[in-house]
């Protein structure tokens, strides 16, 4: 069970790092809702299915 939490944490940390990367790309925009709603929710749904 703890491995699943680790995978969820890795997904969220990757989403955060992706948004930080988008700060440096002129054609992309950084939005917190991408991390909190889209990426984390998707990872949470997969966590619940497993």
Please list the pLDDT of the chain residue by residue as tens digits (50 residues).
566 788 888 888 988 888 888 889 888 877 777 777 888 888 888 888 87
Q: Which DSSP string corresponds to 33-45?
A: HIIIIIIHHHHHH
Domain ranges of the chain: 2-49
Identify the DSSP state of 6.
H
Please give the Cα distance from 50 to 36 (Å, whole number): 20
Please give the Cα distance from 27 to 38 (Å, whole number): 20
Q: According to the model, what pLDDT value does residue 1 have?
A: 53
Q: What is the pTM of this model?
A: 0.73
Q: According to the model, what pLDDT value does residue 2 have?
A: 65
């Amino acid at each position: 069970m703890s491995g699943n939490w680790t995978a969820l944490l890795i997904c969220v940390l990757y989403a955060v790092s992706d948004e930080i990367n988008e700060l440096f790309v002129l054609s992309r925009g950084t939005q917190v809702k991408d991390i909190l709603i889209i990426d984390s929710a998707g990872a949470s749904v997969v966590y619940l299915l497993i």
